[in-house]
Amino acid sequence: MKPKVIVYKKVEPEVLEYIQRTCDVVYFEGLDSLNYSEFLQELKSAQGILGSGLKVDKSLLDQAPQLKIVCNASVGYDNFDVTELSNRGIMATNTPEVLNETVADTIMGLILSTARRMPELDQLVKSGQWTSTIGEKWFGVDVHHKVLGIIGMGGIGSAVTKRARFGFDMNILYHNRSRNEEAEQKYGATYCSMEDLLKQSDFVCLMTPLTPQTENMMGEKEFKLMKESAIFINCSRGKTVDEDALVHALATGEIYAAGLDVFVQEPVNEDNPLLSMKNVVTLPHIGSATSETRLKMAMLAATNLVAGLQGEIPPTLIKTGVRVK
């Protein structure tokens, strides 16, 4: 008898077909108020679930007595209560690495578009306000040969470093929980303290996972340390930043600009002051949003799901202390 699994986000047909070879699949293209009660009913007999964003905590797990594995089709897993999953012997997986290059492209896009004010100037042209030669009022700042500070030198940080160093001759500073010798040797990155990174960098790129230790790690104190000419980039998670402190830093000129792909509340509230700031470039959490990369992520999540239910070690098992038989 095939194990029952729930896929609760839209996935490509080939991903669904792959799972269906070994599992009985209940498929939701997304969860909302109209189908959530049906989802909970199906959850009672499910052995695996696959999707992203769903809060998997004690209250949900209490309704899933047969669950053996939960699979995120994302690199982040702050929606998982890892301790609770570990206590119940439930495996958890995510999809790191396969999105590194695509997210790095997005980060470089934010760096360039923020520094050169591209969205603002795009609107200038489209609104018919480009009536003469562009003067200093509309100038941006150079990216090449500047100092890029990366907070979180993991796979994505390394991919950004490669682009910045070899594409734009940028000098790289980084701060991480541990030294990344490969980044130092291959790209000439220099390890330094958080304080030194903030003081010296022309661009500060935050690339850490969301944990209790990283929540609000960029706040009033950190923005005050940055140069007035510096640009802040966030493609990690919205809650790694104190948004009120960021708004204040931008409004008072403590920093020059910001490029953001993530927010504390997503989708972002329409009254969020960041949306009305001309020195802020905003994106709707599109870091990995290409068809090619999303297919790779979904297929890796499916591979994790099938492997775990067949008694194998999933390729990207999150370390929860659960032993795989």
Question: 80 has which bridge partners?
Answer: 56
The tens digit of pLDDT for each residue in 62-121 reads 999 999 999 999 998 999 999 999 999 999 999 999 999 999 999 999 999 999 999 999
- Pick from 33, 34, 20, 26: nearest CA to 8: 26
136 is catalytic: no
pLDDT confidence of residue 105: 98
Among 17, 38, 215, 266, the active-site one is 266
| 251 three-class SS | helix
pLDDT confidence of residue 324: 54
pTM of this prediction?
Answer: 0.91
Among 163, 165, 237, 294, the active-site one is 237
Half-sphere exposure of 221 (CA within 13 A, CB side): 4
User: Is the pLDDT score of 245 beyond 70?
Assistant: yes
Q: Which domains does the chain have, with CATH numbers?
A: 4-97+291-309 (3.40.50.720), 100-282 (3.40.50.720)
Half-sphere exposure of 207 (CA within 13 A, CB side): 28
Calpha distance 319→291 (Å, rounded): 29
Among 116, 184, 285, 312, the active-site one is 285
User: Is the pLDDT score of 226 beyond 90?
Assistant: yes
Calpha distance 150→35 (Å, rounded): 41
Contact 278, 252 (CB under 8 A): no
248 is catalytic: no
DSSP 107: H
Residue 88 CA from chain centroid, whole number: 27
> Which backbone phi and psi does 213 adopt, to 5 degrees?
-80, -25
116 is catalytic: no
The tens digit of pLDDT for each residue in 147-202 reads 999 999 999 999 999 999 999 999 999 999 999 999 999 999 999 999 999 999 99
Average confidence score pLDDT of the chain: 96
